[in-house]
Structure 1
């Protein structure tokens, strides 16, 4: 079977981002079935309703990248108990103007990592609400709130703890099943 193409939104711009490391680990775990297409959200203009009639090229390219995907993976940190502004901006650009959302009908999964004990639970809840409104089929289980510790993912994208690797393998397996179920 062909690999499913996944548009990957990492909600952190930081060079050593835990969530970017997590995305790389998921890519490595799913490389036999998934093709990850990382979305650059750091260079996007701020969404402004004034340009709905004359959409910026960056927004048009973002929508094309999302529409070319079979599903979307959101890997998000938690900032002030919610999603980072840069991620929300990218979602706004890809979903506007009203009636022209690139996300509508696409399967999605949400995951995130933080140094905090509750991981990214609040950010993920907010993100799930947003994605539901955008008519995305968000994978309900397993929910994945990872507490990230140094060395959890090595420089090659391998998960170093067996229990965490097994959990993430299950996450990837379930995401593939979810995509297949949603895409028919």
Structure 2
């Protein structure tokens, strides 16, 4: 197994989310790595709560991001944007010390029940990540539409075109992670 550390963030909390299936499909296609899925069940961002100190679960997420060689984010599109869960996690991590996202290669994917969903969520997510200065891969953009019909009983993607796009994106993410690791 590679010693690369791949962190996954799923913008949906539901256990049966197709974005979670997509996250695990992307991790498989990334290849050998130490993969961990981050827990985004965080308290709502609140300045009063922050004044008491960064919650331990937020610090744990920030540390996971800082230690990752690459991050995969799977975001559903809720009301034309990223989920509140994902935005809340970004807001909290922005309040931690250091720059955990800085120069970290990031790939973004979306699974949606509609045909073309995910475009606006990915655009919004890119804008939300920009201040943190990660290396967000520009593409290929991966949108798995009509997602309820695209998985087999083992949770594997059956869409060949989507699979090729994920393979390409994960190959680029792996290259970026290896390059980052080589630069030290």
What TM-score bracket applies, with the shorter chain setting the length?
Answer: 0.7 to 0.9
Structure 2 equivalent of residue 116 of structure 1: 114
- The residue matched to 1:150 in structure 2 has which SS? helix
Does the 8 Å CA contact 2:18/2:148 hold for their aligned counterparts?
no
Hey, what's the Cα distance between the residues in 2 that align with 1:87 and 1:110?
12
Structure 2 equivalent of residue 80 of structure 1: 79
Q: Structure 1 residue 67 and structure 2 residue 50: aligned?
A: no
Equivalent of 2:101, from 96, 100, 103?
103
Bigger shift: residues 152-161 or 169-178 = 152-161
Q: Normalised by the size of structure 1, how large is the TM-score?
A: 0.88
Give 1:106 deviation, angstroms. Answer: 1.4
Q: Normalised by the size of structure 2, how large is the TM-score?
A: 0.88
Structure 1 equivalent of residue 32 of structure 2: 33
Hey, what's the Cα distance between the residues in 2 that align with 1:23 and 1:63?
19
CA RMSD of aligned residues (A): 2.0
Matches within 5 A, 1:12-23: 12-23=12-23
Give 1:100 deviation, angstroms. Answer: 3.2
- The residue matched to 2:5 in structure 1 has which SS? strand
Aligned length: 181
Hey, what's the Cα distance between the residues in 2 that align with 1:139 and 1:5?
17
Structure 1 equivalent of residue 167 of structure 2: 169
Gapped regions of structure 2 (runs ≥ 5): none
Give 1:17 deviation, angstroms. Answer: 0.6
Bigger shift: residues 86-95 or 50-59 = 50-59
Gapped regions of structure 1 (runs ≥ 5): none
- The residue matched to 2:148 in structure 1 has which SS? coil
